[in-house]
Amino acid sequence: MNKKEEFKKYLKETTILNKLTKGLIELYETNKSPKDINQFIMEKLGHTNTDDLEKENEDLKKEISELQKEVKKLRTKLKDVQNKK
pLDDT in tens, the chain (85 residues): 799 889 888 888 888 888 888 888 888 888 888 888 888 888 887 777 778 788 999 999 999 999 999 999 999 999 999 988 7
CB 75 within 8 A of CB 62: no
pTM (predicted TM-score): 0.46
Q: How many CB atoms lie within 10 A of CB 23?
A: 16
